[in-house]
Amino acid sequence: MKSSIGASSRVNASNAISKDDEKMKYSSQFPLTKMNFVLMAVSGLLIIVGFLLMLGGANDGETFNNDIFSTRRIVVGPTMAFLGFVAMAVSIIYKPNRK
List helix spans (H) across the chain.
2-27, 34-54, 71, 77-93
Single pTM value for the model: 0.66
pLDDT for 62 equals 82
pLDDT for 18 equals 64
pLDDT digits 0-9 by tens, 44-80:
999 999 999 999 877 777 888 788 889 999 999 999 9
Region 82-97: what's the mean pLDDT?
Answer: 94
Q: Is the pLDDT of residue 27 over 70?
A: no
DSSP 55-74: --PPPPSSS--GGGG-HIII
